[in-house]
Amino acid sequence: MRLLGLVAAILAVAAGTAAFAQAAHTAPVQGTQIAYFQPRTLFHSGLRDTHSVALTFDDGPNYRTPAVLDVLKALNVKATFFIVGNMARAYPRILTRIASEGHLLANHSATHALLSGEYDRHPEMLLDQIRAVNDEIAPLMRPGDQFFFRAPYGSWHSAHAEILNADPVLRNYTGPVYWDIGGDITMHDGYVMSAADWDCWHLHWTADVCAKGYLREIRRKNGGIVLMHCIHSQSAALVEAVVPALVEEGYNFVRVDQVGEFKQYETPQTAPAVADAGSIPRPNVVNIRSASLK
Ligand SMILES: [Zn+2]
């Protein structure tokens, strides 16, 4: 997992060179089509130096998630939960609780699959991975809530976006979204300068030690999207050690759908009409961002 940033960066470069190779594969759609899944991972949240944090919890829910929810509730902090479909089906009541307490549900694939090139050769497999979670979370989301996706292991291909954006429902997603904080453990002169929760637990660190890494990275960057998980025995203790300190320091907490940088990728309320789209040469739809439309 420590290599994820590097892997994702390599994938992003590879995606650039291979971008739109499958454009002919995607059939034209009547009217305006705007791609919401982006060909490259959205590494830039724009939250650094804003004194704002978006807490994100991946891979749940499971039976340890309620303890995390209890801490967030006591602090009145809202977060974003990137849901795995299999877990949602195993813990439906906890999934419902996440939504009912004002957190944003988001999509993290059905089985936490590594979305390799295999999924481009078998588009139905890719569609199933995203659709299975969508079917679980969409009925629980509030009208107007935006849909977000985070790729397991950060693995993403531009061809994935082409496939998913051809689906009239799934193309409404923004993503894949990455993170600014929580990606890896780094040390300096014996100080924990940054931390990643899964790796903290792997190293048998306490929640307090792990929290030092999170807090130092958050303070250094003065905001960002924070990656955590809600499924481990120490998950709640970590939140308890990190979040009250941030509240004390006046940090602003936002859900991922409140991140201004991502608004450009969202579905406009009313899609602009395109006259006689069939006869006009259209630019590659994946390149169009809603912000560029007037
Ligand atoms: Zn994950």
Q: In this structure, is residue 293 part of a structural domain? A: no
> Looking at residue 269, what is its pLDDT?
54
Q: Residue 290's pLDDT band (boundaries 50, 70, 90)?
A: very low
- Amino acid identity, position 143: P
Reported as a single tens digit per residue, the pLDDT across 212-248 is 999 999 999 999 999 999 999 999 999 999 999 999 9
> Looking at residue 76, what is its pLDDT?
97
Q: In this structure, is residue 270 part of a structural domain? A: no
Cα 229 to averaged position of ligand 1 atoms, centre (Å): 8
Looking at the predicted structure, is the pLDDT value of residue 268 above 80? no
Residue with tokens 């419902």: 96
> Looking at residue 270, what is its pLDDT?
54
Greater confidence (43 vs 278) lies with 43
Cα 153 to averaged position of ligand 1 atoms, centre (Å): 6
HEC sequence for 72-104: HHHHCCCCEEEECHHHHHHCHHHHHHHHHCCCE
Residue with tokens 């409404």: 172
Q: In this structure, is residue 24 part of a structural domain? A: no
Out of 14-28, 118-132, 176-190, which region has the weakest mean confidence (pLDDT)? 14-28
What is the C-alpha to C-alpha distance for residues 57 and 139, in angstroms, rounded to an integer?
20
Cα 5 to averaged position of ligand 1 atoms, centre (Å): 14
HEC sequence for 224-284: EEEEEECCCCCHHHHHHHHHHHHHHCCCEECCHHHCHHHHHHCCCCCCCCCCCCCCCCCCC
On whether the CB atoms of residues 73 and 98 are closer than 8 A, the answer is no
- Collapse the DSSP code of 176 into the 3-class scheme (helix H, G, I; strand E, B; otherwise coil) and give the result: strand
Cα 200 to averaged position of ligand 1 atoms, centre (Å): 16
Q: In this structure, is residue 277 part of a structural domain? A: no
Q: In this structure, is residue 284 part of a structural domain? A: no
Cα 61 to averaged position of ligand 1 atoms, centre (Å): 11
Out of 98-112, 162-176, 227-241, which region has the weakest mean confidence (pLDDT)? 162-176
Owning domain of residue 139: 41-259
Cα 60 to averaged position of ligand 1 atoms, centre (Å): 9
What is the C-alpha to C-alpha distance for residues 22 and 126, in angstroms, rounded to an integer?
15
Cα 84 to averaged position of ligand 1 atoms, centre (Å): 8
Q: In this structure, is residue 5 part of a structural domain? A: no
Cα 49 to averaged position of ligand 1 atoms, centre (Å): 26
| CATH number of the CATH domain containing 98 | 3.20.20.370
Cα 261 to averaged position of ligand 1 atoms, centre (Å): 22
Q: In this structure, is residue 242 part of a structural domain? A: yes
CB neighbour list of residue 23: distance below 8 Å, 6 or more residues apart:
162, 284, 286
Cα 293 to averaged position of ligand 1 atoms, centre (Å): 33
E-state strands within 166-241? 173-177, 186-188, 191-194, 223-229
Q: What is the mean pLDDT of the chain?
A: 84
How many structural domains compose the chain? 1
As a whole-number percent, the residues of the chain with pLDDT over 90 amount to 74
Cα 137 to averaged position of ligand 1 atoms, centre (Å): 17
Cα 108 to averaged position of ligand 1 atoms, centre (Å): 7
Gyration radius from the chain CA atoms: 19
Q: In this structure, is residue 189 part of a structural domain? A: yes
